[in-house]
Structure 1
């Protein structure tokens, strides 16, 4: 079982290290340039605003006392967008974390459909297909194209 906690409680150096790791940045086309203290502050403020506006957002993910990354749900139109960004040492945990979060979504009456947007660098979609997610049209955000999958959880 993974623990989900407030992003603001993560020691800043852990998030700075994660977001500046080229293995992480490779799959984050919206991340441009160095992720410095000012970028971290904007990131945390933005995530806090989503919690306030949507009533749901991204958590810090911990397992056995180790920070594995962050992820969760943000409202995007009529669907809830699922995001998951792990530290490289935790890349193998993605499927299990996603399943735990989808189980959370299935119990949350606000969530009918989950959207997964994958960067073109993400080749394997087997885990999404096993969950029942279906690829739809591509999505564009901030000039970048993503593969889009939808999962009905209601």
Structure 2
């Protein structure tokens, strides 16, 4: 097996991904390590509910979370979800793709900068995330600590204008 040097990151809808790929991804304990709201078992029903909820965001807001592909292969999901008047950015990669976070995020942020609906992006990160250098290099600034569904998160903001 050769070393892959070029990454072609593309976004598609979650409905285009085999649900077993998502189940396998979200069942990995390395993924759950930084997801305090992940307190249930990912099975067919949980995955169907997840994809339905993410599609509802697309229908309601015209934007939502994507499936992320690297050279055509599913490596995770992420994108923008409207929370009140704010567009929150989230990213959940497979452990084999953890190193692609900055590359995927830069592409998503470029999308946000080109979209007049998104004057700024928020990021909610659990306090367990200690390596925040990439977020700061992107220009995001710390806003506050918030509680969401009973868990504490660090809220950052990045202006896109």
Q: TM-score, normalised by structure 1?
A: 0.97
Distance 1:27 1:10 in 2: 23
Which residue in the other structure is 2:4 paired with?
Answer: none
Contact 2:69/2:75 (<8 A) preserved: yes
Distance 1:131 1:78 in 2: 22
| Equivalence map 1:125-144=2 (5 Å) | 125-144=132-151
Contact 2:123/2:156 (<8 A) preserved: yes
Residues 52-92 of structure 1, C-alpha deviations (whole Å, 9 max, x = no match)? 11110000011113211000001112210001000000000
5+ long unaligned stretches in structure 1: none
Which residue in the other structure is 1:74 paired with?
Answer: 81
5+ long unaligned stretches in structure 2: 1-7
| Count of residue pairs brought into register by the alignment | 154
Q: TM-score, normalised by structure 2?
A: 0.93
Which residue in the other structure is 2:5 paired with?
Answer: none
Q: Does 1:11 align with 2:56?
A: no
Contact 2:78/2:92 (<8 A) preserved: yes
Distance 2:127 2:42 in 1: 21
Residues 76-129 of structure 1, C-alpha deviations (whole Å, 9 max, x = no match)? 122100010000000000001000100110000000010000112211111111
The one of 36, 41, 44 aligned to 2:48: 41
Which residue in the other structure is 2:90 paired with?
Answer: 83
Residues 21-55 of structure 1, C-alpha deviations (whole Å, 9 max, x = no match)? 00001111111121111111110110011111111
